[in-house]
Amino acid sequence: MKGTRLSVQFILGLLDHGETPQSIIEEYNYITEKDIRSCLLFANEVMENNFFTPFAHSK
């Protein structure tokens, strides 16, 4: 459907703010449980492929 795309960041934000997959599906009836799982998988893969270096604190 044209104009109905939601970003991964948006879906993750909804989950972070307490929405359940079911409530997201009810609100956005073109989203499926598989879509939500795909968002989580994508976020996991992005995190696995990043290297984080902690900042050293100077006094």
Q: What whole-number distance in Å separates Cα of residue 53 and Cα of residue 59?
A: 19
pLDDT band, residue 39 (cuts 50/70/90): very high
Query: What pTM was computed for the model?
Result: 0.74
pLDDT band, residue 2 (cuts 50/70/90): low
pLDDT at 1 over 60: no
Please tell me the predicted confidence (pLDDT) of residue 3.
Answer: 64
Judging by beta carbons within 10 Å of its beta carbon (0-12, 13-18, 19+), is residue 11 exposed, middle or buried? buried
